[in-house]
């Protein structure tokens, strides 16, 4: 007899012999389900710091300033990239600058191992980090290439991109934070 079948038979026997056991078992299962399925369990994962603040691995790009590394959602600190559905206008033509920003981050990573140094989490539970491929900062590169705006840091890179008309600076655009506000995202 298979062990799982044996356990199933023993449990059935136990529940038939002691009717109150069924209620106790049901309550126990509900309590366990509530504990492990609760937002409190998820919240603890969102607020738990990363030991040493360093995570590494192959990254999956979410958008121009967010990625997933080793099971953690990471927001690139100090930058703000256009949202995935955000469009910009260049020479009278609409182009999907949000999608192009995502593609640029994908090109910067190029399937290589990413290392992210994080010190905190944002209000959505994402790690706020500066991430590197080899020794190159992805945060700085996205601003330098013109596919993200400086958001507290990387002012020099933004001035360079703007002066050269790179990325979104070659077009008319709405600042990503204003675009999110207009579309009711992340509030």
Torsion angle defined by CA atoms of residues 184, 130, 145 and 178, in that order, rounded to the nearest 10 degrees: 20
Does residue 44 belong to any structural domain of this protein? no
What tokens appear for 12 in the block? 């059935």
The answer, yes or no, to whether residue 168 has pLDDT greater than 90, is: yes
Same domain, 149 and 178: yes
Percent of the chain surpassing pLDDT 70: 72
Find the length of the chain: 187
* CATH classification at residue 76: 2.40.50.90
Same domain, 76 and 7: no
Number of domains observed in the structure of the chain: 2
Per-residue pLDDT, 174: 95
Same domain, 125 and 101: yes
Does residue 176 belong to any structural domain of this protein? yes
DSSP E strand stretches across 134-186: 136-137, 149-150
Confidence of residue 139 (pLDDT cuts 50, 70, 90): very high
The answer, yes or no, to whether residue 13 has pLDDT greater than 80, is: no
Same domain, 19 and 63: no
Containing structural domain, residue 26: 3-37
What tokens appear for 51 in the block? 């030991």
Same domain, 93 and 175: yes
Same domain, 55 and 128: yes
Does residue 125 belong to any structural domain of this protein? yes
For the segment 72-101, the average pLDDT, to the nearest whole number, is 96
94-119 residue pLDDT tens: 999 999 999 999 999 999 999 999 98
Per-residue pLDDT, 173: 95
For the segment 129-142, the average pLDDT, to the nearest whole number, is 97
Same domain, 175 and 124: yes
Same domain, 17 and 80: no
Distances (CA, A) of 66 to 3, 38, 115: 46, 26, 14
Does residue 65 belong to any structural domain of this protein? yes
Q: Could you say which DSSP state residue 71 is in?
A: T
Per-residue pLDDT, 24: 65
35-73 residue pLDDT tens: 665 544 444 445 555 656 899 999 999 999 999 999 999
Per-residue pLDDT, 33: 59
Q: Could you say which DSSP state residue 49 is in?
A: P
> Helix or strand or coil: residue 79?
strand
Question: Which residues touch 62 (CB under 8 Å, ≥6 apart)?
Answer: 68, 73, 102
């Amino acid at each position: 007899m298979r062990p799982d079948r044996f356990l199933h038979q023993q449990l059935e026997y136990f529940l038939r012999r002691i009717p109150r056991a069924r209620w106790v078992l049901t309550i126990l299962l509900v309590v366990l389900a509530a504990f492990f399925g609760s937002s409190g369990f998820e919240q603890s994962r969102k607020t738990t710091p990363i030991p040493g603040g360093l995570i590494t691995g192959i990254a999956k790009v979410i958008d121009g300033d967010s990625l997933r590394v080793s099971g953690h959602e990471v927001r690139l600190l100090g930058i703000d990239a256009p949202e995935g559905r955000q469009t910009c206008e260049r020479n009278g033509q609409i182009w999907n600058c949000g999608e192009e920003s995502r593609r640029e981050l994908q090109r910067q990573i190029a399937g290589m191992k990413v290392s992210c140094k994080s010190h905190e989490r944002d209000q959505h539970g994402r790690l706020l980090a500066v991430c590197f491929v080899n020794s190159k900062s992805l945060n700085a590169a996205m601003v330098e290439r013109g596919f993200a705006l400086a958001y507290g840091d990387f002012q020099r890179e933004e001035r360079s991109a703007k002066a050269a008309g790179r990325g979104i600076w070659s077009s008319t655009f709405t600042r990503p934070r204003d675009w999110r506000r207009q579309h009711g995202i992340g509030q």
